[in-house]
Structure 1
Amino acid sequence: MNDLTTVVEAARAAFELAHTPADLENTKAQYLGKSGRITEMMKGMATLSVEEKKTQGAAINLAKQTIEAALNARRQALADAELQAQLQAEALDVSLPGRQRGQGGLHPVSLTLERIEAIFGSMGFEVAQGPEIESDWFNFTALNTPEDHPARSMHDTFYVEGGSETAPNLLRTHTSPMQIRHAVQHVKKHRLAAEGSSNTSGLFSGAMPEIRVIAPGRTYRVDSDATHSPMFHQCEGLWVGEAVSFKDLKYVFTDFCRTFFENKDLVLRFRPSFFPFTEPSAEIDIQFPSGPLAGRWLEVAGSGQVHPNVIRNMGLDPERYIGFAFGMGPDRLTMLRYGVNDLRLFFDGDIRFLSQFR
């Protein structure tokens, strides 16, 4: 028994001296391995009597269990020490301030589009939407643009697959096609209500609510420099009714510009021009009374009384219905509002530039 007690104490001491799991397993082999001291004691029982085997065997098993318990305890202690060391090495200082994600914001052109929609919305204008891949009829023909017009040239327009030689598809060059689409649906709806049938032939000359709509969106042309981009934004406007005059156009657009730029002293000039879809037509220039742009006339839009042919293509009788239309570039309005001198900055995606508008 004294030998067993000595072996157990020696095993405990040896386990305590093991500082790594590998050292511990090597020490274990000295006591519990195939040639270990406990195993040798079990082999030595062969010469003992039956009674002695029972007593000695029980004592050896108890010693073995005690050594195994000490071994497991040391294993756990080494594992706990390793975990603590890892936690110390990977510790987080929870007293440090957190890292916050940068807060995003709307693009300056999006801010301008929202502002345009809000201002015209206060005047009773709806917002129309439509496809960016457009048919030749809606983009050119319905807008009274002749077949030999330069805008139909491949040098100015992106044509795409899917159409035919006589009716090609293209990336819309302006958002005016949305005005035509909206007007056609508007007329069709009220024609059915008035006539009580699905007959949509001929021009509609019955009574119906006015068409008052703006059409903001992306447009595409073959052009690229500091003030032009192959993709840019436009916002077209249309007001059609029985007594809508050029005077209404001047009043509406003057009020819009002064509200948009928050300047009641802003001066507008309507300069005679030509557009195939309006007659008469005018370019619209603005002049700031003060600031870095004071005294200069700046072109911001095109406008005019809607051409009778365009009124007909909407399905309306031009003898009864008349209206005005305008088209402006939100990108240019954004440049003027925020003092940006290069259009390409809006599309470069430079966070340093865009974060100024957050």
Structure 2
Amino acid sequence: MTPADELHPRRAVDVADAGSVPAADESADRGPAEGDPAQGRRGNGSRRGGEARREPAGPMLHEVGGRPPLGVYITRLLARRHFAWTHASAQALSKNSSNVLGNIWLVLGPMLDAFAYYVIFALILKTDRGMPNFFAFIVLGVFLFRYSMKSLNAGSGLIRSSKGLIRGFAFPRAALPLAALIREAISMVPVIITALVLVVAVPPHEPPNRLWILLPALLALQTVFNFGLILTTARLTYHLPDLSSLISVLSRFWMYGSGVLFSVERFVDSPGFMTFMKINPLFHILAIARSIVIDETVPPAEPWLILTAWSVGMLLFGFIYFWRGEVNYGRE
């Protein structure tokens, strides 16, 4: 014991105790003795077992590029709604950027179509006889029918034209039809406003009435129907590219079969054709709009119910049909 330890006896005891501890600690750190291999194996096994028990269970693996369940797919699609909106709005604003008049063509195009059809069917063929406001009849028919036809064309070839985006990023492919629908809906806003301004401003005038509050509901049903069209056409033209060339021809048949340019009741007396008209969703869209704006009468319940059934049914069929082909898009 040193003189300093004598002055501090507690320190001397601590030092003595500290000197006796490392022997046990060092033997514990060194593990089992070299001559006891069994003890070494037991120690290592125990150590490995402890480490194995501490490992957390890994996440479940999913097939890369596989089709997720429908509920999961819808959730992922809703999570990409901001992408769809940004993609659609950028396309809507830049679509006519190379033209001198720019986005004025969004309303100028359907206006020129309506004027051309008015000249042909009213001034030349005289099919406006007995109709109170043939101009409003033509404008509503052309503008609303154009909305669905542009949606139909938007779905045509959509998957093949977006092949680079599909191969470069992982996202629900239904985000592409959703973006196409949003783009056409954005473009439709100034178009429908222009149509209503025209029917009010051009004689014989159709002043606004309280039934116009039904127009947003009509456009909402048409938009739902258009989404089903885009989804269905997108997959059909992916598997059958030649179908894209036939869509314009089918659109003309659909236009003349929907009463866009003439009153079906006045010029068609075929029971079979009238039966087709009764199940034609676009015919009911135009009939409801004309009843609200021109006739100022509440449309009956039957066309509303038929249109609602078509809109919901087309959306469900189109979405499931598109989802079932999810794993094939962009693979060839």
Structure number with larger C-alpha Rg: 1
Q: TM-score, normalised by structure 2?
A: 0.23
Whichever structure has more strand as a proportion of its residues is: 1
Whichever structure has more helix as a proportion of its residues is: 2
